[in-house]
Structure 1
Amino acid sequence: MTLMPAVSSWLQTTRSRLTLLFGGTAVLAGLAIGLVADQVLTRHLTELSGQSLVSASQPIALALAQGMQEREREIALLSYLPMLTRDDGYAPQLQAHLEQIRQSYPFYSWIGVTDAQGVVQVSTGNLLRGQNVSQRPWFSAGQQGPYVGDAHDAVLLDKLLRAPGSPVPLRFMDYASPVRGQDSVLKGVVSAHVNWAWVQDIIRRATPQSPMTGGLEVLLVNKDGVINTAGAVEQARAALPILPSQGTFQVMSWGDDPKETYLTAVVPVRAQTVTDLGWMLVTRQPLEMALAPINRLHTLLALLLGLMAALLVALAYWAARRFSQPVERLAEAARQVQASGQVAALDFEMDTVEFQHLRSALQNMTQGLIDGKAALEQANAELEHRVIERTQALQQSEQRYLSILEDQTEIICRFDANNRMTFVNDAFCRLFHLRREDVLGRVWSPIVYPDDLPLVTQKLAAIHPRNPVVVIENRVVSGDGSIRWCQFSNRALFDDSGQLVEWQSVGRDITERRQLEAELAQASEQFQDLYDHAPCGYYALDRQGKYVHLNLLTLQWLGLPREEVIGKLGPADFFDDEGKALFTACFPVFLQTGKIGPLEFNLCGRGGVQRRVSVSSTAILNAQGDYVMSRSIMYDVSELHAARQQLHTLNLEQQAMLDNDLIGIAKVKDRVIVWRNPALERIFGYAPGTLQGRTTEEMYVDQEDFLAFGRDAYAVLASGQHYR
C-alpha cells in the first residue's frame, strides 16, 4: 500500500518525467530502427534468394537449349550424308551408321529414314521398318525443313521399346529433317525420337545441392502446362497461377491455400532451333525455407534490442538527472527562502530673361521673311529661264525619240479606243508589207493565227487600269503569207475616269527563238527520258545530304512522290540502321574528297520493298571550288547480294560437312595425306594432327594391302571414275 503513493509521488517529479521522455523516445526509436532493419534484411534476403533461384535456373535452361540445338544440328547434318542423298536409294551401310549414332547418345530411342511416301526404309533395330508413318506430325513437318517436336506419347514404338512390366508409357521428343537427292528433289525424311528422360537427366545433374536449396523444385512448362518426369502434362497452363515475367522472381501462392507461399523464379529456355517450343523453367522454393536464416537473425536482433533498450533507459536516467539537478537545487533554495524569509534582486535664388528671348526671336523671324521674299523673286526668274531651256530641249528630245522609233527593229504601233491607227514605225510596215499612209487613221490590226486567237482575246480582256500591261506571244500572218511568232507588249492608256483612251503595242519577231526553244525542249525531253528510264537510279544531294534532283526510277524505289522528297529527305531516311551509320561516316569524307564508292546499302522504300543497292558519287564544284551538289548513281544489286549470301551459306554448310565428327575424310596426293578432318584421326585412333603429311601406308595392316589398293584404285581413278 505504501509503494503506490511513493511511485505516484516520484512520477510527479521532473527527473522521472525527463527519464520517461528520454528513455521512452530512445526505446521507441530503437524499436523502430530494429523493425525497419528487420524489414530491410528480410527484403534483402528475399532478393538474394530470388536472384539465387534465377542464377540456379539459368544453367539448367542453357543445358536444355544446347541439348535441343545439338540434336537438331545432328539430324540436319545427317540428312546431308552422301549415303542418304545418293541417287540410287540409301546406302547399305546406312543401317550400321544409324545404330552407331543411336549408341553414341544414350537417349536416342529410335532413328529412321523414310521415303517420300512416308514408308520407313531404314531404322535402328529395324523397328517400324516398312510401316507407313506419313500421318505422324514429324513426317509432315520434316518434309518442309528441320523440325523439333514437343513431348508426346510414343504411339507406335511404346509397345516395342517400353521395359517389360513398366507402367509408365514412353514419351518422346521428335527431331526431323528432309532428305533431298543430288537433284534437290525430296527423297524422304530422317527422324530421331529422343526419350523424355534426357530432360530430367539434365535437370537432375544441373540442379544445385546445398542446405540453402532445401525444398527446391524445378518445373518445366511448355505451351500446354507443367510437364512431369514422364513427359506428361501434370497441370494445365490455364490452371497455373500468374507467373512472374521471364528472367525475374516473385513471392506467390501455389494452390488453394494462400498461406502456402513460394519464392518462384521463371527463366526462358531460348533454344536457337527452327521450331520454338516456348519452354520456360519455373523454379520454386517454400518461402519459409528460403528465409530460414532470417529466423535466427530475429532472435539475435531481439536480444540486441533488449540490451539496447536497457542501455538507453540508463542513459536517459543519467541525462534526466543532469537536467533536473539545477531545478531541484532551485526548488530547495525556494523552500529555504520561504522558511527563512531572506531574498536577494534589477538632426534658396533665381533670374528670368523671357521677354529678351521673345524680342530676339521676333527680330530674327522678320529678317528671315525679308530674305525669303528676295530669294523667291530670284528663284522665279531662274525658273522661267529654265522652262524656256527645257522646252527647247524637249523639242530636240522628241525629234531624237522619233528617230529612235523609226530605227528600231521592234514593230511599234499605237491606235485609239476605236482601233484606228495613230502611229506605226518602219519595222511594222516592213513586216506586214504596208505603207504608213495606208493605215494611219484607219482601222487595221495584225492577222492573228486562228489557233492563237482565243488566247489573245482572253489576255486583252484582262487589262484594266490597275493592270494596264499584258505580254502575249502568238503567231501572226506576215505580209508574204508566212507564219511568224511575235511577242507583243500591249499597254492600255486610261484617262482619269478609267476610260480606255489609246493602245500602244511593241512587238518583236521571236520565230527563231521559238524554233530553238522547240528543239531544246525536244532534246530536253529525250535527255529527261533517258535520265528517268535509265536502268539505274540517278540523283543529286546538297551539302546537308538532302535530295535536290532524282530520276523516276529512284522515286519508284523510294515509293514517295517527288514533292515529298526534294529538299526534305535524303538517302539516310531510307537506309536501315547499318546503312545510316555508314552514310553518316562516309558523307563528310565525300564532301572533302569529292569522290566515293561504290558502297552498298539496304534501301527500304516506303512501300515496304527492300533492295540492296550499290552507290557511287562524284562532287560538282563551282568556279571557286565550293561544293554545289553530288552526281550520284545507284544500282540494284539485290540478286548479286543474295547470290553472295547464298554462296557464303553453302561454303559454311560444306565446311560443316567436312568437319563433321561421324565420317573420316582425307585429301591425298601421291599417297601422302595433305588434308584430313579430325574424324579420320579419331576413327583410326590417331592423335589430332598426327596424320598430316604422312603416307597412307601407315593406315594399312601390311604393305601388301597397301600396294594392292594402289593397283586397284589408281587405275579406276585415272579414268575419271569413282572407286569404292
Structure 2
Amino acid sequence: MIKASLRSHLTLWFAGLSLLILLSVGFYVGHIATEQMKQASGNTLLSTARSTAALLAVQLRERQLEVSLLSKAPLFRRGDLDAPDILALMELRTQSRAEYAWMGVVDAEGRVRQAVNGLLVNQSVQQRPWFQAGLRGEYTGDPHEAVLLAKLLPGAANGEPLRFIDFAAPIRNASGETIGVLGAHAHWRWVTQIVASAVTQKDALPDIEALIVDFDGKVLYPEALAGEQMPKDKLVTPTGWFTDNGYVTASVAVPSPSNARVSWYIMVRQPLDVALQPARSLLYKLMVLGLLAAIIFIVAAYYLASSLSRPIERLAKSAKQVQDHQPGAVFPQEHPVLEIAQLGQSLTGMTHSLLAKERELQETNASLEATVAQRTADLTQANADLLKLATHDALTGVFNRRRFDEKLAENSLLFQRTGRTFALLLIDADYFKRVNDTYGHAVGDDVLCQLAALIENTTRATDFVARYGGEEFAVLLPEVEEPDSPDVVAEKIRAAVAAAKFPTVSQVTVSIGVGVAEPSDRDSLALLKRADMRLYEAKGAGRNRVA
C-alpha cells in the first residue's frame, strides 16, 4: 500500500474541503440572491403597475366628470340644442384638451345637432352604444374603432387604426326631461400615452414593457401585441406578480367608477434574464472568487504541510491566544527552518497590527454611529417636508386637491359605515378673472392667499379646508348639527370675505354651494355634484351668496 506524505494528505484534504465549501456557499448565496432579485423586480413592477393604473383611473374619471358637468351647464338646460353658445363652449373644451377627437350634441332621436368642426352633423348615431347608454346616465366605454369618424380624421403617423374611448352624459332641461346626449370621443392614444409615460420614468427598471389587457386577458396595447391572449388566471394573483414565458409580470386592475363599462388591467413586465442579471453576475463573481481562493488555499496548504508539527502547534496555540484576546501569546522568532522563523516574526507583527487596527476600528465605529444618527434625523425631516409638499397647496398653504379627494373618500366611507353625516362647501371667488386681468397674477395670488386664510380662520379646527382648483376652495364639515350647521358656516365665510379689505383690490366676494351627504349616495361623487350644482345656482342668482 502506497502511503502519501503528510504534505500530500494535508494539501489534498485542505484544497478539496475548501473548494467544496466555497462552491456550496456560492451556489446557496446565488440562489438566495436570485430569489430576492426576482421578488424585488416583481414588487417594483407591481408598484409601477399600481401607480400607472391609479393615474389612468384618475384621468378617466376627470374626463367623465368634465363631460358630465358640461352637460349640466345652464346653456344645455335651456333646451335649445342648436344654440351657437353651446358649440362655442364645446370648441373651447376640445381646444383645451388635446385628447378629445370629437365632441357633439345629439337630440333624443339620435341626430347630431352640433359638433366640433362640424363632424357628423345631421347624421344619426341612434344605434351607437354610447348614445343609448347616455340617455340613461353617465357613460364611459371600452376602446373601439369609429368607422364614420375615422374617415373624417387624419390617420395615425405609424399607420395604426384610429381607436377611441367614449364618454357620454344625458342633457336634461329645466324640468328634468332628457332632451339629448352630450357625447365625446377621446383618442385611444391618449390612454396609451398616459400608460407609456408612467412606466418610462428615469428611475424605472430597464427593458420594462407596459400592457393594457381587458377582463378576458386579451391585449389592447401595445398595437404590436394587440389581440394576443394573456393567462386569464394570472390577472389577479395573491402577490400581484408572477413569472411566466420568460417574464416577471405584475398585474393591477384599473379602478373605474360604477358607471364606466371598462374592465382593464395594467400589466408591467420585464424579461426574466434582465431582472436576474445582477444575481447571475454575483454568482459568477462568487464562483471566480471561490476558484481563486481554492488555488490560494492549495498553495498555502502545501507550504504549511512542509513544516514540522511541533512548531506549528506552538504557532497555532499562540495564534489561538490572540484570537481569544488572551495575554501571553509568544511566537518563536528563531528556528532552523527559515519559513517557520519568518512566520513567527510575521505573526508577531500581525498581532501588533491587528490590535492597532482593532482600536482604530472601534473609534471608526463610534464615528459611523454618530454619522448614521445624524443622517437618520436629516432623512426624517426630509420625509416630513416631502409629505407636506405632497398634501398642501404650494401657494395658499391649505390642503391640495389630491389630499381633498382622499379626505372626501374617507368621510364617505365613514358615513356609509356609521351613518354620521357630513357636509361639503364649494367656494368660488366671484369675477376673479377680472382681478388677474386688471391687477396682474401676482395680485391675484395675494388675493387667493388671503381668501385661504379667511376661510381657515372662519372655520373650526375640525373642518378640512383645501384649494380645489384655481380660485375655487372646498371645505369638509364633519359636524353638521346646530348651531354650526353647514348654512351657518357658509354664511360666516361669505360675510367674512365680503367684509374683508384686500390690498389693491379692496373688496372680493365669494359664492358658496352647500351639499350634505345623503344615504342614497353611491359614492362621494354624488355629493360633489350636488355641491357643484348649488354653486352654479349661487353664481346664477347674482353671486356673493350661499346656495
> Per chain length, whose mean CA-contact separation is higher, i.e. which structure has more relative contact order (CA < 8 Å, sep 6+)?
2
Query: 1:173 aligned to 2:165?
Result: yes
TM superposition score normalised by structure 1: 0.43
Distance 1:127 1:215 in 2: 41
Shift of residue 233, structure 1, vs aligned partner? 4.2
Shift of residue 323, structure 1, vs aligned partner? 9.5
- The one-letter amino acid of 2:30's match is D
More strand per residue: 1 or 2?
1
- The one-letter amino acid of 2:271's match is P
Query: 1:61 aligned to 2:53?
Result: yes
Q: Structure 1 residue aligned with 2:84, among 89, 92, 113?
A: 92
Distance 2:276 2:285 in 1: 15
Q: Structure 2 residue aligned with 1:291, among 244, 268, 276?
A: 276
Q: Structure 1 residue aligned with 2:228, among 235, 238, 258?
A: 235
Shift of residue 176, structure 1, vs aligned partner? 0.7
The answer for the alignment partner of 1:468 in structure 2 is: none
Distance 2:158 2:8 in 1: 82
The answer for the alignment partner of 1:40 in structure 2 is: 32
The worse-fitting range, judged by mean Cα deviation, of 142-151 and 198-207 is: 198-207
The 8 Å contact of residues 211 and 222 in structure 2, kept in 1 or not, is answered as: no
Query: 1:268 aligned to 2:261?
Result: no
- The one-letter amino acid of 2:71's match is S
1:99/1:229 CA distance change after superposition, 3 Å: farther
Q: Deviations over 1:260-301 (max 9, x none)?
A: x11212122223463152211111222222223334333422
1:521-532 alignment, distance < 5 Å: none
The answer for the alignment partner of 1:226 in structure 2 is: 219
- Helix, strand or coil: the match of 1:219? strand
- Helix, strand or coil: the match of 2:147? coil
1:242/1:102 CA distance change after superposition, 3 Å: same
Distance 2:100 2:416 in 1: 46
1:297/1:63 CA distance change after superposition, 3 Å: same
1:297/1:95 CA distance change after superposition, 3 Å: same
Shift of residue 56, structure 1, vs aligned partner? 3.0
1:244-393 alignment, distance < 5 Å: 245=237, 248-253=240-245, 261-272=246-257, 274-275=259-260, 277-314=262-299
- The one-letter amino acid of 2:430's match is R
1:83/1:211 CA distance change after superposition, 3 Å: closer
The answer for the alignment partner of 1:200 in structure 2 is: 192
The answer for the alignment partner of 2:375 in structure 1 is: none
The 8 Å contact of residues 130 and 183 in structure 2, kept in 1 or not, is answered as: yes
Distance 2:133 2:122 in 1: 20
Q: Structure 2 residue aligned with 1:129, among 113, 121, 136?
A: 121
Shift of residue 312, structure 1, vs aligned partner? 3.6
Q: Structure 1 residue aligned with 2:430, among 666, 676, 697?
A: 676
Q: Deviations over 1:298-356 (max 9, x none)?
A: 34222210222234445655776789669xxxxxxxxxxxxxxxxxxxxxxxxxxxxxx
- Helix, strand or coil: the match of 1:143? helix
Shift of residue 31, structure 1, vs aligned partner? 1.4
Shift of residue 677, structure 1, vs aligned partner? 6.0
1:208/1:602 CA distance change after superposition, 3 Å: closer
The 8 Å contact of residues 145 and 162 in structure 2, kept in 1 or not, is answered as: yes
Distance 1:280 1:229 in 2: 13
1:386-465 alignment, distance < 5 Å: none
1:645-684 alignment, distance < 5 Å: 655=426, 659=428, 675-676=429-430
The 8 Å contact of residues 235 and 252 in structure 2, kept in 1 or not, is answered as: no
The 8 Å contact of residues 81 and 114 in structure 2, kept in 1 or not, is answered as: no
- Helix, strand or coil: the match of 1:150? coil
- Helix, strand or coil: the match of 1:250? strand
Query: 1:159 aligned to 2:151?
Result: yes
Q: Structure 2 residue aligned with 1:143, among 135, 141, 144?
A: 135
1:100/1:676 CA distance change after superposition, 3 Å: same
The 8 Å contact of residues 83 and 90 in structure 1, kept in 2 or not, is answered as: no
Query: 1:118 aligned to 2:110?
Result: yes
1:288/1:177 CA distance change after superposition, 3 Å: same
Distance 1:95 1:246 in 2: 50
The answer for the alignment partner of 1:81 in structure 2 is: 73
Q: Deviations over 1:187-243 (max 9, x none)?
A: 211111001110222233223266974432211111251013459942245x76845
Distance 1:685 1:125 in 2: 36
Q: Deviations over 1:356-378 (max 9, x none)?
A: xxxxxxxxxxxxxxxxxxxxxxx
The answer for the alignment partner of 2:529 in structure 1 is: none
Shift of residue 679, structure 1, vs aligned partner? 6.0
Query: 1:102 aligned to 2:87?
Result: no
Q: Deviations over 1:508-555 (max 9, x none)?
A: xxxxxxxxxxxxxxxxxxxxxxxxxxxxxxxxxxxxxxxxxxxxxxxx
The 8 Å contact of residues 212 and 222 in structure 2, kept in 1 or not, is answered as: no
Q: Deviations over 1:372-403 (max 9, x none)?
A: xxxxxxxxxxxxxxxxxxxxxxxxxxxxxxxx
The worse-fitting range, judged by mean Cα deviation, of 306-315 and 239-248 is: 239-248
Shift of residue 165, structure 1, vs aligned partner? 9.8
Q: Deviations over 1:41-73 (max 9, x none)?
A: 222222222223223333322321121011011
1:177/1:216 CA distance change after superposition, 3 Å: same
- Helix, strand or coil: the match of 2:227? strand
Distance 2:261 2:238 in 1: 16
How many percent of aligned residue pairs carry the same amino acid? 33
- The one-letter amino acid of 1:305's match is G
The 8 Å contact of residues 15 and 324 in structure 1, kept in 2 or not, is answered as: no
The 8 Å contact of residues 142 and 261 in structure 2, kept in 1 or not, is answered as: no
Across the two proteins, how many residue pairs are aligned to each other?
351
Distance 1:170 1:685 in 2: 46
The 8 Å contact of residues 102 and 115 in structure 2, kept in 1 or not, is answered as: yes
- Helix, strand or coil: the match of 1:182? coil
Distance 2:307 2:233 in 1: 62
The 8 Å contact of residues 138 and 191 in structure 1, kept in 2 or not, is answered as: yes
The 8 Å contact of residues 34 and 280 in structure 2, kept in 1 or not, is answered as: no
The 8 Å contact of residues 56 and 208 in structure 1, kept in 2 or not, is answered as: no
TM superposition score normalised by structure 2: 0.55
The answer for the alignment partner of 1:189 in structure 2 is: 181
The 8 Å contact of residues 212 and 290 in structure 1, kept in 2 or not, is answered as: no
- Helix, strand or coil: the match of 1:38? helix
1:694-705 alignment, distance < 5 Å: none
Distance 2:247 2:111 in 1: 50
RMSD of aligned residue pairs (Cα, Å)? 4.0
- The one-letter amino acid of 1:83's match is L
Q: Deviations over 1:630-685 (max 9, x none)?
A: xxxxxxxxxxx9xx88xx5xx76xx4xx75xxxxxxxxxxxxxxx51656657889
The 8 Å contact of residues 155 and 162 in structure 2, kept in 1 or not, is answered as: no
- The one-letter amino acid of 2:200's match is P
- Structure 2 residues without counterparts, runs of 5 or longer: 312-409, 449-470, 472-497, 508-539, 541-547
Distance 1:314 1:244 in 2: 57
